[in-house]
């Protein structure tokens, strides 16, 4: 909260928060929701990470409607490497560790698990590959050590190759510095990225935006460049998109819709869904929150409030919670759109 208040005093435009709570919570019990509401009242956009809590439903953590939450898709894959024969030992003794170093130093090693990949690294391996059946959230490049996650069928092909070449002693391996390949998974969400729907208010779509978050080049202290992954790295991509137009209002920047982030369209959004702090307070009242609590926690000083349904909030996406028992179901969802373009335009609506 103090960091948020300092940002308000410094008159910043955007706050990027690569943090999330490990446990589920409501709109009252998270400092990120409190801080982002306070920032929103001062015209500051808050972008927060959705979380890395598995592909199970309702695992998204930052879901307050007055801030944007991000998750991440896959990136282009690296090509698989050729490898030397595998050694399987997940907990080697000191004597075995010495033998492993003798055998694995400067080699490329095929492993069954992520833990074995760590052992191979400590033994001096040049690089490792491990099979995708190990579902740990692990990027295909691990810190300063090359570690590649490959499909099981590719691992089987590599094993056949090593067994065949073992007889003649002609195994070959090469590490390429960089190679770009097309990948149909580029716009898919990785298994570790938290999913919706909103665990409290199903009518509020969360996460809002999908941005790059796998194998992101990150500089470290000391000048090293590493590849890391997570919604923490998708979050600043969204904040950067908002920074394209710092003079626009928070509703103009944030309330443009949902889905995969599109940088060029940020320069000319057209219609936006304007929403202010008063409307968010009315939403909270409609969710059962009392005025006394709103004043204490969200520092709301207004007197007049009107409870509105979640579907009535002028949110930039549409989400309908349909009862399981209903065969036919209809609902009215009102929205007000504001044109923020610099030139005159002809707009058409399509169903």
CATH number at 2-75+189-339? 3.40.50.200
Neighbours of 58 (CB within 10 A): 16
Convert the pLDDT of each residue in 217-236 to its tens digit: 887 777 777 778 888 988 99
What whole-number distance in Å separates Cα of residue 72 and Cα of residue 199? Answer: 19
For the ranges 85-89, 114-118, 263-267, 308-312, which has the lowest average pLDDT?
85-89
Strands 108-111, 127-131: parallel, antiparallel or unpaired by DSSP?
parallel
| Distance from the first to the final alpha carbon of the chain | 43
Interhelix angle 277-286/31-41, rounded to 10 degrees, is: 140
With 60 as the cut, is the pLDDT of residue 74 above it?
A: no
pLDDT at 87: 42
What whole-number distance in Å separates Cα of residue 297 and Cα of residue 283? Answer: 15
Q: Name the pLDDT band for 97 (thresholds 50, 70, 90).
A: confident
With 60 as the cut, is the pLDDT of residue 137 above it?
A: no
With 80 as the cut, is the pLDDT of residue 177 above it?
A: no
pLDDT at 82: 33
Convert the pLDDT of each residue in 105-121 to its tens digit: 888 888 877 777 778 88
pLDDT at 266: 67
Across 4-18, 58-72, 117-131, 213-227, the highest mean pLDDT is recorded for: 4-18
With 60 as the cut, is the pLDDT of residue 136 above it?
A: no
With 80 as the cut, is the pLDDT of residue 29 above it?
A: no
pLDDT at 182: 62
With 70 as the cut, is the pLDDT of residue 143 above it?
A: no
224: exposed, middle or buried (Cβ count in 10 Å: 0-12, 13-18, 19+): exposed
Query: By percentage, how much of the chain surpasses pLDDT 70?
Result: 75
SS3 call for 265: helix
- The answer to whether the CB of 198 falls within 8 A of the CB of 206 is yes
For the ranges 31-35, 51-55, 126-130, 257-261, which has the lowest average pLDDT?
257-261
- The answer to whether the CB of 293 falls within 8 A of the CB of 28 is yes
Convert the pLDDT of each residue in 309-334 to its tens digit: 999 999 888 888 888 886 788 888 88
**Chain mean pLDDT for the chain:** 76
- The answer to whether the CB of 273 falls within 8 A of the CB of 314 is yes
């Amino acid at each position: 909260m103090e960091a948020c208040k300092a940002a308000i005093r410094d008159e910043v435009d955007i706050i990027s928060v690569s943090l999330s709570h490990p446990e589920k919570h409501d709109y009252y019990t998270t400092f990120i929701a409190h801080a982002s509401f306070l920032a929103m009242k001062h015209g500051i956009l808050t972008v927060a990470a959705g979380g890395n809590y598995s592909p199970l439903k309702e695992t998204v953590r930052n879901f307050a409607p007055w801030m944007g939450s991000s998750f991440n898709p896959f990136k282009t894959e690296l090509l698989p490497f050729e490898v030397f024969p595998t050694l399987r030992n997940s907990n080697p003794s000191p004597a075995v560790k010495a033998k492993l170093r003798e055998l694995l130093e400067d080699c490329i090693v095929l492993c069954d698990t992520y833990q074995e990949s760590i052992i191979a690294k400590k033994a001096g391996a040049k690089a490792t590959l491990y099979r995708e059946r190990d579902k740990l959230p692990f990027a295909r490049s691990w810190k300063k050590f090359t570690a590649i996650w490959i499909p099981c069928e590719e691992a089987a092909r590599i094993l056949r190759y090593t067994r065949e070449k073992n007889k003649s002693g002609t195994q070959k391996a090469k590490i390429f510095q960089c190679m770009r390949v097309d990948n149909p998974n580029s716009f898919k969400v990785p298994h570790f990225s938290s999913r919706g729907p909103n665990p409290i208010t199903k009518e509020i779509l969360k996460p809002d935006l999908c941005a790059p978050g796998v194998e992101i080049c990150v500089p470290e202290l000391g000048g090293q460049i590493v590849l890391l992954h997570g919604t923490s790295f998708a979050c600043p991509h969204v904040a950067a998109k908002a920074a394209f137009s710092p003079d626009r209002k928070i509703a103009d920047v944030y309330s443009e819709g949902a889905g995969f982030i599109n940088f060029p369209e940020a320069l000319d959004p057209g219609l936006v869904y304007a929403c202010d702090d008063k409307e968010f307070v009315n939403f909270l009242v409609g969710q059962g929150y009392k005025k006394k609590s709103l004043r204490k926690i969200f520092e709301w000083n207004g007197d007049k409030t009107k409870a509105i349904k979640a579907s009535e909030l002028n949110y930039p996406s549409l989400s309908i919670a349909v009862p399981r028992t209903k065969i036919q179901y209809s609902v009215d969802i009102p929205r007000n759109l504001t044109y923020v373009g610099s030139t005159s335009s002809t707009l058409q609506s399509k169903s």
